[in-house]
């Protein structure tokens, strides 16, 4: 079936936050003698073991991952906060989350200047007003972001849940020098009067606005408005509103601008105000102030998805006092509080490692975002979370992490997912800005729900409705399954796999990814079987367990690992044989080079519409994705020894790409073949070489998930999402403790013979609450009740965790 829109479907562009559309405030301003506050340096020297006065916020650098494709949002935000102010740059390829740590120009906060004090000479359009930053002036901390512009303005920002607060500082002189951009990199230095102009441009990063209204009050300079925008990785449109107020200087005049044309004769734009419907591009309001007596102007910007007046209400409620220090302190306390559930002994760890751990942990609480009370689509008493971006990425590590460190919020997220099902008819796989996002593989919210059920999240969760939702994923094909549910369900039922030549008559979606959809649907069915079992649906349990074995139908035992070298034409490869391969409706196998879409061979041709059988990964990678029956897979791959050498080869040959979430679990799958030491070995190969504290220190799109991977690895366990199984590797700390959900106890993981040089990384023996524990995994109970896990370490692999009875459970070896 032809799916025209997908032909030009963009490669996945996952944007961290789409809610800062209105923060393109730039202050005009002169002077270049202005000295930005000294960059706040980490005071990192006195962080000894057990000292209770360690402030973990000092180890959080939100700028990690702001280049090299990490797409991290480094601005100010509360945990799961909706308001996310930050600076936006013109490195469009990297700027999915706004800010980039390079020398690209700053679009938001660009200064407008005018040598004759004439607002008409200011530059209003996004690209024209871009200005360079003061080198190394970007400062980011939880709840705070600041940057110096090369025009004398120093911009700082902080946030409450729905409101951003900006503080712009200006030089004290009455006239200030200003480097006026001429053309290219040329600048002309002039002197201009110190009379700041701040404008608010109704535009978003993607330039997606249509329509919209905006007005400015001449007496107070309050600006209000909103517009229609398109989501960054999904369908449809959403409305967003703002309300901006200012403090700190006398208003000289106000007005509007349309593209480069500014006027003080009109104070409102948009069809609501009787002017023409706004076309795309820069449009907005501005205010010019007299010189600020304290050399500072505060701008408070409330946001809302309901209305502009709701945005004003949010701002007034949350930041009635314009007190920057108070808001910042409150935000930092909120972060300290969230992170206080983890106590780590920092002894022997480098600052680099500490920053990698704490910053990664911090990033796992940026999104999903709490939009409770801001949902324009339906009225409900349930919590509402948005920016599930995307569950394909987050179900593997981020949600299981939140289940341990923030179960209350994870519970609210589960309830929000169920409520989305209730009102929209399907669980999302990806959702942002109240819009349906693209489904990358299976219906992986099924795994999120099963994981929560296994781990006893209960408060207010309607499990009967949750079960209805996952069964709907499995049984009812939506008309457009590119944005929810599954496709090819009739083939799934009759053939037991998604055929490469599927002719789905029930719905529309990209008929690609037959291997990756097959393995994901199989595991999603396993998750449903588990829920059926817990909730007493016996027949369903059998049915879905059977279907969870469907991955076998694509196993091609003879398929060889061969590929052609692009330059020499030589056939290369390895001796490993047997891979998942695409299969036709008639049962015959088609073929996809096993390494296709790995870093070593045509990495970037496996997306929705690229007609390949895998998504963002190779058959090599997807052939390991059988989390519920690794024992069967190991057999098919020739037994434990061959499996271990295959998995080692996967990690050592360049086929593995750690910058994507499906690649997390294979780091730990040695456990299933009785070699937990190899998992520990690979953890240390990737940390810190790929996960570190540099601005480039994330190997791929963060998605709030990369930090969950490193956080788990540091703490000494990794979840098999959707099962009550956590695989053990030694913590990278001498000791780490996680508070139990009731707040009364601790789950402590402690290394005996801890070696901060990481030469002794192999577990020799383990004691759980004083008793020998030979299994190489534990259950969630440990984190619920608390307890003590002690690892004795040594420089060589040992027998620990290697015996059949020590392995994590598999379907074929009696998991149920």
What residues make contact with ligand NAG under the rule CB under 6 A? Answer: 32, 68, 103, 132, 135, 150, 161, 179, 187, 189, 259-261, 370, 372-373, 409, 412, 455-456, 476-477, 489-490, 506, 688-690, 692, 694, 696-697, 699, 724, 779-781, 784
**Nearer of residues 345 and 386 to ligand NAG, judged by Cβ:** 386
Q: How far apart are CA 544 and CA 447, in angstroms?
A: 13
Contacts of 77 (CB under 8 A, 6+ apart): 83, 84, 85, 143, 159, 331, 366
User: Nearest approach, Cβ of 266 to ligand NAG (angstroms)?
Assistant: 11
The CA-based diameter of the chain, rounded to the nearest angstrom, is 82
Half-sphere exposure (CA, 13 Å, Cβ side) for 374? 30
Least separation in angstroms between CB 794 and ligand NAG: 26
Q: Which is nearer to ligand NAG, 370 or 443 (CB)?
A: 370
State the number of CA atoms in the 13 A half-sphere of 236 facing the CB: 11
Specify the DSSP class assigned to residue 36: P
> Distance (Å, rounded) from C-alpha 462 to C-alpha 415?
8
Instruction: Tell me the C-alpha distance between 171 and 33, whole Å.
Output: 7
Residues 630 and 637: their CA atoms lie apart, in Å, by: 10
Q: Whole-number minimum distance, CB 691 to ligand NAG, in Å? A: 7
Based on CB atoms, which residue is closest to ligand NAG, 68 or 518?
Answer: 68
609-612: Cβ within 8 A, 24+ apart: 609/3, 609/6, 609/7, 609/8, 609/9, 609/510, 609/512, 610/512, 611/512, 612/512, 612/513
Dihedrals φ, ψ of 421, to 5°?
-60, -45
409 Cβ contact list (under 8 Å, min separation 6): 79, 80, 370, 402
Q: Return the number of the residue (345 or 525) whose C-beta is nearest ligand NAG.
A: 525
- How far apart are the C-alpha atoms of 703 and 388, rounded to whole Å? 9
Rounded to a whole number of angstroms, the minimum distance from the CB of residue 781 to ligand NAG is: 4
Considering the complex, what minimum distance in angstroms separates the CB of residue 690 from ligand NAG? 4
Q: How far is the CB of 178 from ligand NAG (least distance, A)?
A: 9
Q: Are 162 and 173 in contact (CB under 8 A)?
A: no
Nearest to 671, CA basis, from 636, 718, 632, 713: 718
The residue (of 408 and 641) whose beta carbon lies closer to ligand NAG is: 408
Strand 296-304 to 210-216 pairing: unpaired
Compare residues 563 and 783 and give the one whose CB is closer to ligand NAG: 783
Give the Cα separation of 196 and 215 in Å (integer). 19
CA distances from 463 to 396, 402, 458, 704 (A): 21, 19, 9, 27
Provide, rounded to whole angstroms, the least separation between the CB of residue 385 and ligand NAG: 8
Radius of gyration of the chain from its Cα atoms, rounded to whole angstroms: 27
312 vs 594 by CB, closer to ligand NAG? 312
**Residue number closest to ligand NAG, CB atom:** 179
Q: Are 342 and 738 in contact (CB under 8 A)?
A: yes
Closer to ligand NAG by CB, 375 or 610: give it: 375
Q: How far is the CB of 32 from ligand NAG (least distance, A)?
A: 6
Nearer to ligand NAG, 370 or 679 (CB): 370
In the bound state with ligand NAG, the residue whose beta carbon lies nearer, of 355 and 646, is 355
**Bridge partners of 158?**
165
Nearer to ligand NAG, 262 or 626 (CB): 262
Q: Classify residue 530 by burial, with Cβ atoms within 10 Å: 0-12, 13-18, 19+.
A: buried
Least distance to ligand NAG, CB of residue 51, Å: 28
Burial (0-12, 13-18, 19+ Cβ within 10 Å), 268: middle
Q: What's the closest the beta carbon of residue 365 comes to ligand NAG, in angstroms?
A: 10
Q: Tell me phi and psi for residue 556, to 5 degrees.
A: -115, 100
Answer whether 648's CB lies under 8 Å from 678's CB: yes
The verdict on whether omega for the bond into residue 705 sits within 30 degrees of 0, i.e. cis, is no
Closest CB 161 distance from ligand NAG, rounded Å: 6
3-state DSSP assignment of residue 206: coil
Number of separate helices (H) and strands (E) present in the chain: 18, 31
Instruction: Look up tokens 């006065």; give the residue.
Output: 53
> Cβ(714)–Cβ(733) under 8 Å?
yes
CB of 426 or CB of 780, closer to ligand NAG: 780
Tally Cβ neighbours within 10 Å of residue 789. Answer: 20
Looking at the Cβ atoms of 492 and 791, the one nearer to ligand NAG is 492
The CB-of-447 to ligand NAG minimum distance in angstroms stands at 16
Q: Which residue number, 460 or 557, has a Cβ lying nearer to ligand NAG?
A: 460
> Closer to ligand NAG at the Cβ: 160 or 764?
160
SS3 766: strand
């Amino acid at each position: 079936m032809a799916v025209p829109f997908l032909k030009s479907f963009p490669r996945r562009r996952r944007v961290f936050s789409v809610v800062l559309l209105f923060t393109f405030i730039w202050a005009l301003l002169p002077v270049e003698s202005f000295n930005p506050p000294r960059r706040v340096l980490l005071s990192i020297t006195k962080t000894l073991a057990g000292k209770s006065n360690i402030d973990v916020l000092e180890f959080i650098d939100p700028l990690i991952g702001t280049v090299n494709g990490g797409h991290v949002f480094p601005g100010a935000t509360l945990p799961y906060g909706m308001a996310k102010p930050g600076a936006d740059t013109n490195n469009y390829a990297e700027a999915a989350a706004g800010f980039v740590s390079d020398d690209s120009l700053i679009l938001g906060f660009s200064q407008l200047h005018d040598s004759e004090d004439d607002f008409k000479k200011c530059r209003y359009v996004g690209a024209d007003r871009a200005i360079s930053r003061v080198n190394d002036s970007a400062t980011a901390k939880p709840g705070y972001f600041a940057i110096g512009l090369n025009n004398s303005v120093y911009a700082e920002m902080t946030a409450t849940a729905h409101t951003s607060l900006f503080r712009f500082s200006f030089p004290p002189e009455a006239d200030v020098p200003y480097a006026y951009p001429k053309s290219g990199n040329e600048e002309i230095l002039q002197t201009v009067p110190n009379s700041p102009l701040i404008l608010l441009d109704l535009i978003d990063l993607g330039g997606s606005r249509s329509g919209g209204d905006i007005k400015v009050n001449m007496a107070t300079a309050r600006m209000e408005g909103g517009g229609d925008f398109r989501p960054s990785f999904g369908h449809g449109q959403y409305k967003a509103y703002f309300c901006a107020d200012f403090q700190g200087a006398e208003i000289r005049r106000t007005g509007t601008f349309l593209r480069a044309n500014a006027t003080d004769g009109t104070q409102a734009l948009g069809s609501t105000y009787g002017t023409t419907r706004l076309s795309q591009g820069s449009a907005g309001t501005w205010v010019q102030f007299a010189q600020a007596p304290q050399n500072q102007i505060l701008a408070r910007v409330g946001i809302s998805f309901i209305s502009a007046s709701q945005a004003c209400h949010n701002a007034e409620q949350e930041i009635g006092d314009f007190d920057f220090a108070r808001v910042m302190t409150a935000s930092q306390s909120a972060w300290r509080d969230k992170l206080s559930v983890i106590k780590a002994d920092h002894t022997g760890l480098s600052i680099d490692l500490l920053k990698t751990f704490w910053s990664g942990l911090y990033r796992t609480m940026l999104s999903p975002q709490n939009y409770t009370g801001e949902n324009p689509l339906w009225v409900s008493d349930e919590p509402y979370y948005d920016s599930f971006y995307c569950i394909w990425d987050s179900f593997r590590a981020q949600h299981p992490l939140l289940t341990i460190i923030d179960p209350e919020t994870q519970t609210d997220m589960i309830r929000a997912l169920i409520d989305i099902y209730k009102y929209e008819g399907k669980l999302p796989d990806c959702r942002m800005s109240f819009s349906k996002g693209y489904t990358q593989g299976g219906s992986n919210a099924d795994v999120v729900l099963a994981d929560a059920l296994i781990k006893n999240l209960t408060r207010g969760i309607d499990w009967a409705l949750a079960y209805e939702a996952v069964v709907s994923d499995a049984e009812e094909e939506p008309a457009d399954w590119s944005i929810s549910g599954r496709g090819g369900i009739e083939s799934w039922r009759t053939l037991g796999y998604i055929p490469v030549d599927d002719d789905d008559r029930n719905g529309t979606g990209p008929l690609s990814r037959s291997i990756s959809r097959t393995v994901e649907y199989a595991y999603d069915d396993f998750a449903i079987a588990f829920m059926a079992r817990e909730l007493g649906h016996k027949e369903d349990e059998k049915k879905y367990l059977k279907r969870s074995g469907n991955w076998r139908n694509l196993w091609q035992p003879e398929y060889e690992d061969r590929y052609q070298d692009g330059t020499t034409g030589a056939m290369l490869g390895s001796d490993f044989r047997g891979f998942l391969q695409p299969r036709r409706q008639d049962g015959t196998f088609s073929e996809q080079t096993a390494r296709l879409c790995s870093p070593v061979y045509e990495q970037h041709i496996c997306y929705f519409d690229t007609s390949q059988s895998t998504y963002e990964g190779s058959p090599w990678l997807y052939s390991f994705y059988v989390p519920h029956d690794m024992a069967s897979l190991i057999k098919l791959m020739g037994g434990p020894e061959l499996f271990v050498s295959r998995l080692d080869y996967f990690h050592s040959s360049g086929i593995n790409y750690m910058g994507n979430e499906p690649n997390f679990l294979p780091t730990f799958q040695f456990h299933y073949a009785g070699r937990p030491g190899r998992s520990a070995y690979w953890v240390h190969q990737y940390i810190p070489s790929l996960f570190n504290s540099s601005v480039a220190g994330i190997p791929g799109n963060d998605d709030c998930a990369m930090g969950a991977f490193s956080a788990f690895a540091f703490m000494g366990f990794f979840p098999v999402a959707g099962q009550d199984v956590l695989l053990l590797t030694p913590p990278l700390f001498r000791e780490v403790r996680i508070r139990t959900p009731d707040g009364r106890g601790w789950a402590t993981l402690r290394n005996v013979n801890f070696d901060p040089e990481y030469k002794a990384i192999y577990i020799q023996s383990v004691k759980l609450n004083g008793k020998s524990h030979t299994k190489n995994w534990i259950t969630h109970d440990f984190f619920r009740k608390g307890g003590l896990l002690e690892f004795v370490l040594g420089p060589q692999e040992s027998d620990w965790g290697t015996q059949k009875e020590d392995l994590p459970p598999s379907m074929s070896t009696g998991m149920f």
